[in-house]
């Protein structure tokens, strides 16, 4: 491996009903957020939602994290254990921060840090993210499907509970998409060098990503990979379509990358393909890729572990 390596990847999830990542509700209609691609709308999940889910997964996997979500608040809320510290907290290290302070506020923060025994002179109020991600985009166009659920009347005796949330039963509308999502990520491994052990856990977290985009109480949708492409390269760009997965009649395909590898467009030793993409691949294509030196693995999690081992 050369001294400077970059890891680029695209995750394709399994297909399932999704009511995640809602925007502002229109009366009693829960609206999925979407973007337009060509002539069709596609449901999306933001990179911020994915990053928050990764923070929670890193914490579950045992890494120290600074920020946590507070659920029982009147609005979206988080709390921090301390000012950002990339040496102590994995989420600060990978995802960066911005402390909105200037002038006297900066001096006050530095004084506070000094009192805590931290190196206030070298404290940074802004740090870019090491982990780069883009939004998850639905593979299938949105079909304007809506499901209906009933919210019951709360008829609790007021002698038992004085506050009643609603005075009548309501019909709730929830936009739903039956689709897989795909999303890219990128890491510069030189930036990750101070905490390679954390980086291995981060890759494991991507392989187990869940609970992205809210609505967790009712909607279970996994953002873990069903199929996965990784490229470990000294190049500064991925060099392939990072939204290049296609699903044809349930079959996972990655035409640009697979055809490019067979045609000699890419250095095969830099590519790692895994998951249902390999399970669905015909024997002749799989054999040709293996002969050229492409790493193939039926399990996306094992593929991530293989790449993590090369760090």
What beta strand segments (E) does 26-141 contain? 29-30, 34-37, 40-45, 67-70, 77-80, 97-98, 126-127, 132-133, 136-138
pLDDT confidence of residue 219: 74
pLDDT confidence of residue 218: 66
What beta strand segments (E) does 87-152 contain? 97-98, 126-127, 132-133, 136-138, 145-151
Residues 6+ apart with CB under 8 A from 191: 130
Closest of 35, 39, 50 to residue 224, by C-alpha:
50
pLDDT confidence of residue 47: 92
Virtual torsion, Cα 16, 22, 27, 29, nearest 10 deg: -10
pLDDT confidence of residue 23: 64
Q: Residues 224, 274: contact at Cβ < 8 Å? A: no
Virtual torsion, Cα 131, 255, 275, 219, nearest 10 deg: 70
Burial class (CB in 10 A: 0-12, 13-18, 19+), 122: exposed
pLDDT confidence of residue 249: 92
How is the chain split into domains, by residue range?
6-83+130-156+167-309
The tens-digit pLDDT sequence of the chain (311 residues) is 446 799 999 999 999 998 876 666 666 677 888 999 999 999 999 999 999 999 999 999 999 999 998 888 888 789 999 999 999 999 999 999 999 998 899 999 999 999 999 999 999 999 999 999 999 999 999 998 888 888 888 788 777 777 766 678 888 888 889 999 999 999 999 999 999 999 999 999 999 998 886 655 567 889 999 999 999 999 999 999 999 999 999 999 999 999 999 999 999 999 999 999 999 999 999 999 999 999 999 999 999 999 999 98
Report d(CA 163, CA 158) in Å as an integer: 7
Pairing of strands 34-37, 136-138: unpaired
């Amino acid at each position: 491996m050369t001294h400077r390596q970059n890891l680029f990847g695209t995750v394709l999830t399994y297909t399932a009903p999704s009511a995640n990542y809602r925007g502002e509700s229109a009366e009693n209609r829960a609206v999925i957020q979407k973007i337009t691609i060509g002539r069709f709308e596609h449901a999306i999940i933001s990179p911020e939602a994915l990053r928050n889910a990764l923070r929670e997964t890193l914490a579950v996997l045992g890494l120290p994290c600074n920020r946590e979500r507070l659920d029982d608040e009147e609005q979206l809320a988080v709390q921090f254990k301390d000012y950002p510290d990339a040496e102590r907290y994995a989420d600060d290290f990978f995802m960066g921060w911005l402390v909105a302070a200037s002038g006297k506020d900066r001096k006050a923060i530095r004084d506070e840090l000094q009192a805590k025994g931290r190196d206030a002179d070298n404290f940074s109020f802004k740090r870019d993210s090491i982990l780069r991600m883009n939004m998850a985009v639905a593979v299938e166009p949105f079909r304007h499907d809506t499901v209906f659920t009933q919210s019951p009347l709360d008829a609790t005796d007021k002698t038992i509970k004085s506050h009643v949330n609603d005075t009548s039963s309501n019909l709730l509308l929830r936009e739903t998409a039956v689709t897989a999502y795909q999303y890219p990520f990128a890491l510069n491994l030189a930036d990750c060098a101070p905490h390679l052990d954390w980086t291995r856990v981060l890759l494991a977290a991507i392989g187990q990503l869940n609970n992205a985009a809210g609505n967790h109480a009712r909607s279970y949708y996994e953002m873990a990979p069903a199929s996965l492409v990784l490229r470990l390269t000294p190049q500064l760009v991925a060099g392939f379509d990072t939204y290049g997965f296609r699903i044809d009649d349930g079959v996972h395909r990655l035409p640009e990358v697979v055809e490019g590898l067979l045609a000699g467009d890419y250095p095969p030793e830099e590519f790692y393909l895994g998951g249902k993409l390999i399970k669905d691949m015909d024997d002749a294509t799989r054999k040709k890729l293996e002969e050229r030196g492409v790493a193939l693995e039926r399990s996306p999690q094992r593929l991530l572990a293989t790449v993590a081992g090369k760090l």
